[in-house]
Every structure is written in C-alpha cells, then in structure tokens.
Amino acid sequence: MGNLLEGLFIGQMAQLDRTFTDEDVFECQRLTNDFSPVYQYEENVWRLNFKQPIVPGILAEGLINQVVSEKLPGCPCVLLQKEMIFYHPVYTNDRITAVLEVIDINEERNWVTQKVTCFNQDHNEVIKGQIVVLVLTNK
C-alpha cells in the first residue's frame, strides 16, 4: 500500500461555494431538532442582533465538510477536531465560499490539519478556524 497522504502538501488549497436557501435551513432544523427562533422569519428575537434570521452554524459547517470529502483530501476521512469562530452571521441566500489550506501533515498518524476560511458574496469573512482529519486506509 502506498502512502495515504501521497499528493498532499503544505500550502495546498481547495474551495467550494454554496448558497444556503430557506429549504436548507428547514431541512437542517428537521434533522437536528434545533428550532431556535433565530432561524425563523416569523419570530422576533433575531431582530435584536441581526438583519434577518441566520443560517444554523452546523449547516454552514457542512460546506467545510463537503470540501474535505470532495476535494481536500478528497478521500475517505474522519473529522477529529474542529475549532471555528463565526465572525459574521450567515444569512439565507448568502453565497458562502469555504477555502481550506493544508497547514500540517502528520504521516505517522495519517492526520491532515487544515486552515479554514469562509467568506460571503461581499467578501466578509464569516467563519475562520482549523480542522484535523484522519485519512482512512483504502483497504
């Protein structure tokens, strides 16, 4: 078996973007049973802090997971650690771009550490952080 991390290198980057819809938010709420009023137009609580209801953080983080599974490393892996800071809210119909950059490769453990930066269509940084993934064997 070859090196599982072959082809990966420090500084390697990948990105994807997605526009989150009302349907996405509803489906996320249904799956997580998180019906917080900050996600719902008909509630008023979000008006105190936001210009409209926000997209659940776990939904926005799903775009990061999509980059991992489809592009970097783009092979079967498991998320071991994540640290995220949400600088600005993500709203319905925002186009979010998730950019991942390899910042460390631990060949002994098959771990890849990646810097995460997400920004919206106005180029405002909305999420920043770091993840560590375990690259699984292909056996």
0.85 exceeded by pTM: yes
Asked if residue 2 has pLDDT above 70, the reply is no
Band of residue 138 on the pLDDT scale cut at 50, 70, 90 = low
For 51-67, b/e burial (b = at least 16 CB within 10 A) is: eebbbbeebbbebbbeb
Higher pLDDT, 2 or 80: 80
Average pLDDT over residues 15-20: 96
Degrees to nearest 5, angle at CA 85 with 28 and 66: 45
Structure tokens at 80: 């071991």
